[in-house]
A = this chain, B = another copy of it.
Amino acid sequence: MSEITVGVLGARGRMGSEAVGAVEEADGMTVVAQVDADDALDALVDGGAQVVVDFTNPSVVMDNLRFCIEHGIHAVVGTSGFDDDRLAEVSTMLADREDVGVLIVPNFSIGAVLMMRFAAIAAPYFESVEIVELHHPDKVDAPSGTATRTAEMIAAARRSAGSAPIPDATTSDPLGARGGVVDGVHVHAVRSRGLVAHQEVLLGDQAETLTIRHDSVHRSSFMPGVVAGVRGVVGRPGLTVGLDAVLGLD
C-alpha cells in the first residue's frame, strides 16, 4: 500500500515542526511539503500532497482551506478560531467537492478528548461534578478552553438526563474561593510553575468519587492525535469537527 503524502502548513512553527517530525516517524505516511509564512501554497500541489496539516493562524487558515479544497487536498486543522460562522463557510466550500474531507480539531490530545467524553457519560450518574484545570503561570486567560468545553458537555449531558442541579450549600464566600461557574458547573483554575496543561474532573455521589484526570507535559502529546487525524481524514469526505469520529468514539 502506498504511503499517505502529507504537506504541513506552518511547518517552522512550534506545533508545525513537531507535526513534521511526527508524520515522518509514523507508519504509512510521509511529508512531501513543508510550507511556512513566506512560502507559496503551490508547493503542496508540486509535492503531491494528499493531506495537509494546518498549524498556522486564524488570519490565513481560511485561504489555506480554500486552496486545499479546490485542489482536492484533505485537511487536518489545528489552527484555532473556528466559530459557527467559519464552520458554515467551510461547509459551503466543501459543497462542490464531495471527495474532499476537512477535519477541524479543537484539541489534538487523545487523552483530553477521552477525558471530556468520559466526564459527559458519567455526569448524569453523580450528584456533584466540578472541574479543576491546572496550567503554567504564563497563561493569560482562565478558565481554559478545554475546561469550558468540558463543563458545557457535562451540563448538556445532565440536561438530557434530567439531572437535578448540583448541590451547594455555600452561603458565605467573601473571596470567591468557589471559582467560576460555566453552565451550572463550578470550574477552578490553578496556575503554578512546573505545570504544563492538566485537568481533573471530580464526580461525587454518596460516599464515593470518580476522578478523571488528564496531564499533558509537552506539546508532543498532541502528535498521536495529528497522526490519527491524517489517517482518518482520508476516506472521510465533508466537514468533521473533533477527533471523536476519527478515534472511533462516535
Contacts and interface: CB of A to CB of B under 8 A. Distances in A.
A126 B193 contact: yes
Contacts of A140: 169-172
B175 A191 contact: no
A174 to B, nearest CB: 8
Interface stretch (A41-49, A69-77, A85-93, A131-139): A131-139
A213 B194 CA distance: 14
A192 interface: yes
Given A137-B168, A169-B139, A175-B187, A204 B193 contact: yes
A205 B179 contact: no
Identical chains in the assembly:
4
A203 B134 CA distance: 12
B215 A211 contact: yes
A203 to B, nearest CB: 7
Please classify how large the interface on chain A is, using the bins under 10, 10 to 19, 20 to 34, 35 or more. Answer: 35 or more
Q: Majority SS of interface residues in chain A? A: mixed
A239 to B, nearest CB: 24
Contact of A138 (B111, B169, B214): B169
Contacts of A121: 114, 118, 249
Contacts of A187: 175, 177
B172 A177 contact: no
Given A114-B122, A180-B176, A191 B137 contact: no
A167 B195 CA distance: 13
Contacts of A139: 169-170
B177 A189 contact: yes
B212 A208 contact: no
A202 interface: yes
Given A141-B171, A143-B173, A193-B206, 11 more contacts: A118-B122, A128-B137, A128-B194, A138-B169, A140-B169, A140-B170, A141-B170, A175-B180, A175-B182, A194-B206, A206-B221
